[in-house]
């Protein structure tokens, strides 16, 4: 990003896609036409939804008028029976108006679904705005187009693999620590508690013993959140002092319990972080292939809905420089 890039906040009321007009868009020029086309399609979808909503309101109003006309046809002339042909005509008008209303509702539902399918774009534009604010340099990073033409089958296959990566991420996030690492963390906690309970002598004290031993067993109240002034917690009562007295015994006994635990699939913190990095790279690679397949399908006149949680880097076809 140029060093002399203007430094000012984007007004809240300004649409995110005005970034290019401001000359602040970090998106590479090669990637701009695609995002512009997606924005146009999103705007068209919103316009279609508004038009369908207006049509439905008119159809609902028309149905209400015709239904009331049929309802009051006999009430207005209580002493005169409505002729069968008039009743049949009015019933047909009500049915026609109801069919028009149902059709209008179906159009609104379809337009709403179409509009919702662009949730991925709003996330991508927000990511782009954040990249601008961070002065992030971006470079083109589009995946190659698929060789075959069965685009839906390829997208389904890729999404199955993405789901498998998500499952692996969850398994990694919930993986247990190795027993040695768990014991090390346990010992750190025991040492911290023992440090709080360690006695403190004052040899200058003459009104009593140099160690106020009885004070160790008082229950004291402390604020769990000093900044807010709320949340009192009870401390003391001799527990921390006893941990100090029996530190080694506590470590040995609890350590033995951990040694006996059945640990499967254990990962150290370093191994877990490395696994996260590998899975993140794997997922992004799959998402880039998924986006390339969707783009290829659109070139053939086939439109495949993008996932709401698609990675913006895959949608924008960029990578951090």
Express each pLDDT in 129-185 by its tens digit: 999 888 889 999 999 999 989 999 999 999 999 999 999 999 999 999 888 888 888
Question: Per the structure block, which two tokens stand in for 265?
Answer: 């699939």
CA distance 125 to 138: 14
CA distance 49 to 109: 9
pLDDT recorded at residue 308: 93
Specify if 273 maps to a domain. Answer: no
Is pTM beyond 0.95? Reply is no
Task: Report the candidate in 31, 94, 43 with the shortest Cα–Cα distance to residue 68.
Answer: 94
Task: Report the candidate in 127, 98, 96, 119 with the shortest Cα–Cα distance to residue 27.
Answer: 127
Residues 203 and 93 grouped into a single domain? no
CA distance 19 to 251: 59
Residues 126 and 227 grouped into a single domain? no
Cβ distance 8 to 23 under 8 Å? no
Residues 85 and 186 grouped into a single domain? no
pLDDT recorded at residue 20: 47
Query: Which of 81-85, 167-171, 295-299 bottoms out in mean pLDDT, i.e. has the lowest?
Result: 81-85
CA distance 274 to 172: 10
Question: Per the structure block, which two tokens stand in for 248?
Answer: 């080694």
Provide the domain count of the chain: 2
CA distance 275 to 252: 32
Specify if 150 maps to a domain. Answer: no
Range of the domain at 75: 11-136
- pLDDT of 17 > 60? The answer is no
- pLDDT of 277 > 70? The answer is yes
Specify if 189 maps to a domain. Answer: yes
Specify if 65 maps to a domain. Answer: yes
Pick 77 or 42 by higher pLDDT: 42
Residues 257 and 186 grouped into a single domain? yes
Question: Per the structure block, which two tokens stand in for 264?
Answer: 């499967």
Which stretches within the chain are classed as H helix?
A: 19-22, 32-72, 84-116, 119-133, 151-173, 179-197, 239-245, 247-259, 269-299, 312-316
Query: Which of 98-102, 228-232, 314-318 bottoms out in mean pLDDT, i.e. has the lowest?
Result: 228-232
- pLDDT of 318 > 60? The answer is yes
CA distance 106 to 100: 10
Reading phi first (left if > 0) and then psi (alpha if -120 to 50, else beta), residue 135 is in: left
Specify if 61 maps to a domain. Answer: yes
Q: Cβ–Cβ contacts within 10 Å for residue 178, how many?
A: 15
CA distance 134 to 10: 13
In 3-state terms, what secondary structure has residue 320?
strand
Residues 6 or more apart whose Cβ sits within 8 Å of residue 251: 186, 187, 190
Domain boundary among 107, 136, 165: 136
Mean pLDDT value across residues 304-312: 95
Specify if 147 maps to a domain. Answer: no
Q: What is the pLDDT of residues 207-257, one digit of tens each?
A: 777 776 667 676 666 666 666 555 555 556 678 888 998 999 999 999 888
Question: Per the structure block, which two tokens stand in for 47?
Answer: 């316009």
Question: Per the structure block, which two tokens stand in for 101?
Answer: 């209303």
Cβ distance 251 to 190 under 8 Å? yes
Query: Which of 65-79, 91-105, 239-253, 306-320 bottoms out in mean pLDDT, i.e. has the lowest?
Result: 65-79
Residues 118 and 211 grouped into a single domain? no
What percentage of the chain exceeds 70 in pLDDT?
82
């Amino acid at each position: 990003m140029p060093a002399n890039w203007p430094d000012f906040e984007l007004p809240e009321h300004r649409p995110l896609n005005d970034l290019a007009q401001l000359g602040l868009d970090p998106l590479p020029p090669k990637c701009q036409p695609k995002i512009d086309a997606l924005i146009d399609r999103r705007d068209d979808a919103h316009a279609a939804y508004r038009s369908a909503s207006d049509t439905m309101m008119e159809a609902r109003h028309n149905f209400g008028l015709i239904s009331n006309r049929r309802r009051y046809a006999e009430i207005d002339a209580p002493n005169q029976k409505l002729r069968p042909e008039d009743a049949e005509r009015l019933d047909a008008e009500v049915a026609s108006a109801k069919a028009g209303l149902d059709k209008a509702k179906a159009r609104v539902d379809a337009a709403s679904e179409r509009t919702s399918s662009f949730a991925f774009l709003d996330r991508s534009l927000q990511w782009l705005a954040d990249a601008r604010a961070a002065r992030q340099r971006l470079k083109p990073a589009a995946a190659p187009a698929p060789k075959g033409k069965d685009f839906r089958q390829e997208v389904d296959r890729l999404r199955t693999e993405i789901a498998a990566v998500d499952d692996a991420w969850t398994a990694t996030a919930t993986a247990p620590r190795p027993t040695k690492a768990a014991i090390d963390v346990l010992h750190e906690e025991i040492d911290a508690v023992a440090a709080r309970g360690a006695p403190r002598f004052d040899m200058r004290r003459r009104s009593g013993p140099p160690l106020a031993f009885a004070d160790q067993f008082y229950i004291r109240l402390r604020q769990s959140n000093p900044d807010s002034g709320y949340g009192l917690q009870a401390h003391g009562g001799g527990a921390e002092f006893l941990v100090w007295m029996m530190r080694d015994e506590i470590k040995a006994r609890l350590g033995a319990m951990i040694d006996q635990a059945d640990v499967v699939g254990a990962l150290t913190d370093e191994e877990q972080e490395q696994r996260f990095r590998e899975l993140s790279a794997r997922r992004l690679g799959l998402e880039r292939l998924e986006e390339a397949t969707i783009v290829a399908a659109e070139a053939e006149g086939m439109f495949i809905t993008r996932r709401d949680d698609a990675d913006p880097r895959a949608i924008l076809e960029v990578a951090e420089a």
